[in-house]
Amino acid sequence: MDRKAFKLPFRRQALTKYPCPTCSKGLLKVKKDSFHFKETRSSERAHPHEAWDPDWIEYVYGCLFECTNSECKDVISSSGVGFVSEYGSYDEEGNPDIDWDDYFVPRYFNPHLKLFSLPKETPESVSEEIEKSFALFFCDPSSSANHTRIALENLLTHLKIKRYITSGGRRSYLALHKRIELLPRKYEHVKDILFAIKWLGNAGSHSQREVSPDDVLDAYELMEELLAEVLTNKRKKVKFLAKKINKKKGPK
């Protein structure tokens, strides 16, 4: 997962680093003649202020992105906000100069981007929540983090960890923390990952602390590793491969 790709603003003329959600091979580029943007009303009203500077400008935009993969060429719609920022350049004589340009920050994509790849073994109950998280990542990080927490709950259910206990004829649901503690010994090496995702998900659900995109990206990195470890037996396959090579003392 390229974290920078999902954090940096883009310029209309440049190729973005957003991976195509359809083919995952191409990158997204603004489709010709599809980009529309306008300065907001409040931004326009600020121009007469004596201290006004171009970096006060605020935009809203809407556009179509197109996949650069010639075998895909799918189209994705997007909307968001923009601003003006200075950047270093050189004049015709090669002297350092300061210039201004427009930058844009997405809030929505349709279809949404896929911020990391899910193993094909991922249960539908888990993948559905992660897809919801992806859809909300750019516009509502707190809700996005909350859906990773739900995905974690659903993964534990898939692993047959009980969700509730019955006592005196009454059913009580188990807290996520307790469910993680109930994992069998073979998952001991990933418990720290589960607890970390839980804390980040809790911040999106209950905490007064604002959840940042970086917090959600942390959760994604942890979830990507967790799913690979729990669902694909990656470590077991690598150990088996090493054992075969060591037995032959060379190429298998």
Band (pLDDT 50/70/90 cuts) for residue 103 is very high
Residue 21 has pLDDT above 80, yes or no: yes
| Burial (CB count <10 Å: 0-12, 13-18, 19+), residue 150 | buried
What are the helix and strand counts (H, E) for the chain?
Answer: 8, 7
Band (pLDDT 50/70/90 cuts) for residue 149 is very high
- What pLDDT score was predicted for residue 249? 65
Segment 66-96, tens digit of pLDDT? 999 999 999 999 999 999 998 766 667 767 7
d(CA 210, CA 224): 23
- What pLDDT score was predicted for residue 97? 72
pTM comes to: 0.86
Mean pLDDT of 202-226: 87
Q: Tell me which residue of 163, 156, 237 sits closest to 191, measured CA to CA.
A: 156
C-alpha atoms less than 13 angstroms from C-alpha of 26 in its C-beta half-sphere: 20
- What pLDDT score was predicted for residue 125? 97
Cα 240 to its chain centre, rounded Å, is 33
Class (C level, CATH) for 124-243: mainly alpha
What is the overall mean pLDDT for the chain?
91
Segment 104-123, tens digit of pLDDT? 999 999 999 999 999 999 99
Residue spans of the domains in the chain: they are 3-110, 124-243
Segment 221-246, tens digit of pLDDT? 999 999 999 998 766 666 667 777 77
